[in-house]
């Protein structure tokens, strides 16, 4: 498992907790600062930024994951309702397809949100290291 995958898993663990985004980033920043060498931070950040800002669909999923998946949950529910009430086995196909698409969208959005959280934490680490270097350079 690469460092990037491990950091995304750490971010997914933080997403599960009920707290503000700032608190999640702060806790993740502490974990990253202790476990990742400073030389690798920039490479990991560039890799994640390339993955997250890839296309328009990723940006929509990042901001509105639930809203994008909601119609597919509705299709799954209607397929189940019509399949039971009209005794049409073909309607259960809509349940399977709609549910599967909704789950795929939710999982992809979850990963994107975790990657975005890692990017925010890495940005904070960079800002803090630059701020810590600035007074030393001024004193010299």
CA–CA gap between residue 131 and residue 139 (Å, rounded): 13
pTM: 0.83
pLDDT values of the chain reduced to their tens digit, one per residue, 140 residues: 788 899 999 899 888 888 888 898 999 988 888 888 888 888 898 888 888 887 888 889 888 989 999 999 999 999 888 888 887 778 888 899 999 999 999 999 999 999 999 999 999 988 888 888 777 665 55
Distance of alpha carbon 70 from the chain centroid: 18
CA–CA gap between residue 18 and residue 45 (Å, rounded): 25
CA–CA gap between residue 62 and residue 114 (Å, rounded): 10
């Amino acid at each position: 498992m690469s460092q990037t995958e491990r950091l995304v898993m750490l971010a997914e663990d933080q997403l599960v907790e009920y707290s503000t985004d700032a608190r999640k980033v702060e806790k993740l920043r502490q974990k990253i600062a202790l476990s990742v060498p400073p030389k690798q931070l920039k490479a990991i950040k560039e890799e994640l930024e390339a993955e997250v800002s890839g296309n328009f669909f990723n940006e929509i999923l990042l901001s509105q994951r639930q809203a994008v998946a909601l119609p597919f949950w509705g299709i799954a529910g209607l397929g189940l309702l019509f399949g039971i009430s009209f005794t049409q086995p073909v309607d259960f196909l809509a349940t399977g397809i709609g549910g599967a698409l909704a789950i795929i969208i939710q999982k992809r959005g979850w990963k994107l949100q975790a990657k975005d959280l890692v990017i925010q934490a890495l940005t904070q680490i960079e800002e803090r290291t630059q701020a810590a270097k600035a007074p030393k350079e001024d004193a010299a």
